[in-house]
Amino acid sequence: MSRKEAILNAALELFNETNTQSATTNHIAKSMGISPGNLHYHYKNREEIIRLLYKKLVDEMSLSVEELPRTLAQLLEHEKTLIEVQWKYRFFFKEILFLFSRDKELEALYIKDNIAHKERITQVMQNLEKGGELMIPDSETLAFLVDSVLLSWQFYNSHLHTLGEEIDTCSAHKVIEYTNAAMRPYIIKKES
Amino acid sequence: MSRKEAILNAALELFNETNTQSATTNHIAKSMGISPGNLHYHYKNREEIIRLLYKKLVDEMSLSVEELPRTLAQLLEHEKTLIEVQWKYRFFFKEILFLFSRDKELEALYIKDNIAHKERITQVMQNLEKGGELMIPDSETLAFLVDSVLLSWQFYNSHLHTLGEEIDTCSAHKVIEYTNAAMRPYIIKKES
């Protein structure tokens, strides 16, 4: 692993453990046993590091449109993958709006990606309807289902945190129960 | 209004405009035309100010158990009141997990209140069922409905923000459409 890459990993670990304000570039350098100057040779500031971590997050979660889930079973597998990525970069979702208020470039980047993500979720719901697995009665219900998936993917762990629940790789999967419950009234039961 | 109270109001305004890290106690003092020393005569630090603002938020939203909504129409009115409070203290919900990571006392306080809040929402859903307005088929559905209300109250505005939607007092009410859509399949239609 290159030094540049190793710095990103060390930053990710510290951000997840504490928060992006406590973990300064000096702390990140210290945790690796390198000088602050060496870190700043690779990265201008903490904002640059956070932006690059965000780009890695996007790379890890992005699926091309061809790969979008076409069945409920595929959607479940897809959700599991996204939850793993969310967990890996959990500092980001904990601080998301605070990070936006400090870095408008990051905010613009995220919003653009998120709008595209929302369009893909809409596409998935419409695929499930075409495939006879979901019955979506009207556009309000479609909007609600899409909202449920996106809202909970971004904020369900934060929600659990506000109730004092321990968040770990296991509990991070609870969001699946939430999205399943949102879809349940609209799932078409197959005759067996 | 006392100087002590005026400082809280000035802090709230600055926190909502920027974020709690950019708005230092020096900035708050400056915005009021008082000296930092004068501010620190009233408040030890920014954490104390944030904690007091949180307590005001709780005072404004708390309803005694006797006052809990017993019909869907009352629930709607209740939601509108809570949304106004949420909007007034919006910095808090934007930064909530970041604030917790900086102030464990605030975190413990919030979690305790939020667990009680969740119990009240559960009570409301059960009241609506007893009153013949909701048909809740099982405990998973009850958990989902309670989760929907609490998750969206805390994070729906943040969710809209991540999609680049302008948040104002008007759009802050969109969360009602979300919770209505979550309840819709379980609402018992009255014969007219």
- The answer to whether the beta carbons of residues B102 and A19 sit under 8 Å apart is yes
Q: What is the pLDDT of residue A64?
A: 52
Q: How many CB pairs under 8 A join A and B?
A: 115
Question: What ipTM was assigned to the predicted interfaces of this complex?
Answer: 0.93
Q: What percentage of chain B reaches a pLDDT higher than 70? A: 97
Cα distance from B156 to chain A (closest Cα, Å)?
A: 7
Q: What percentage of chain B reaches a pLDDT higher than 90? A: 83
Provide, as residue numbers in chain B, all residues whose Cβ is less than 8 Å from the Cβ of A21: 21, 98, 102
Is the pLDDT at B64 greater than 80, yes or no? no
What does the domain layout of chain B look like in residue ranges?
A: 1-44, 47-186
- The answer to whether the beta carbons of residues B161 and B167 sit under 8 Å apart is yes
Which of B111, B91, B88, B89 lies closest to B21, judged by CA? B91
* B contact test, residue of A151, A153, A184, A188 with most B CBs within 10 A: A151
d(CA B142, CA B136): 6
Buried b (16+ CB within 10 A) or exposed e, B30-64: eebebeeeebeebbeebeebbbbbbebbeeebeee
Among A66-75, B22-31, B82-91, whose mean pLDDT is lowest?
A66-75
Phi/psi of residue B63, each to 5°? -120, 140
Q: What is the pLDDT of residue B66?
A: 59
Q: Which chain B residue has its CA at the smallest distance from A92's CA? A: B98
Buried b (16+ CB within 10 A) or exposed e, A107-123: beebbebbeebbebbbe
A60 touching chain B per CB within 8 A: no
Q: What is the pLDDT of residue B191?
A: 67
* B contact test, residue of A97, A99, A125 with most B CBs within 10 A: A97
Is the pLDDT at B1 greater than 60, yes or no? yes
Which top CATH class is A1-44? mainly alpha
Cα distance from B164 to chain A (closest Cα, Å)?
A: 6
- The answer to whether the beta carbons of residues A177 and A79 sit under 8 Å apart is no
- The answer to whether the beta carbons of residues B24 and B46 sit under 8 Å apart is yes
**Which tokens is A65 given?**
């449109």
B158 touching chain A per CB within 8 A: yes
Which position has the token pair 């996007």?
A58
Confidence of residue B173 (pLDDT cuts 50, 70, 90): confident
A80-to-A58, A143, B12, B64 alpha-carbon distances in Å: 15, 22, 39, 40
- The answer to whether the beta carbons of residues A123 and A150 sit under 8 Å apart is no
CB pair distance less than 8 Å for B151 and A155: yes
Phi/psi of residue B190, each to 5°? -80, 140
Q: What is the pLDDT of residue A192?
A: 58
Angle between helices A90-102 and A72-88 (to 10 degrees): 70
Phi/psi of residue A187, each to 5°? -80, 130
CB pair distance less than 8 Å for B177 and A140: yes
List per-block mean pLDDT (blocks of 10 residues) for chain A, which spans 192 residues.
93 95 94 94 96 94 73 91 91 94 95 95 96 96 97 96 90 91 93 62
Q: What is the pLDDT of residue B88?
A: 94
Q: pTM of whole model > 0.90?
A: yes
CB pair distance less than 8 Å for A181 and B143: yes
Is the pLDDT at B31 greater than 80, yes or no? yes
Is the pLDDT at B43 greater than 80, yes or no? yes
Q: What is the pLDDT of residue A173?
A: 85
Residues 6+ apart with CB under 8 A from B18: A101
Cα distance from A110 to chain B (closest Cα, Å)?
A: 7
Cα–Cα–Cα angle for A59, A60, A66, rounded to 5 degrees: 80
Which amino acid is it at A152? S
pLDDT in tens, B122-133: 999 999 999 999
pLDDT in tens, B100-146: 999 999 999 999 999 999 999 999 999 999 999 999 999 999 999 99
Confidence of residue B167 (pLDDT cuts 50, 70, 90): confident
Q: What is the pLDDT of residue A159?
A: 97
Q: What is the pLDDT of residue B166?
A: 86
Q: What is the pLDDT of residue B63?
A: 58
d(CA B111, CA A161): 8
Strand partners, A187: A134
Among A166-180, B55-69, B178-192, whose mean pLDDT is lowest?
B55-69
- Helix H, strand E, coil C: the string for B123-175 is HHHHHHHHCCCECCCCHHHHHHHHHHHHHHHHHHHHHHHHCCCCCCCCHHHHH
Rg over CA atoms, chain A: 19
Cα distance from A24 to chain B (closest Cα, Å)?
A: 14
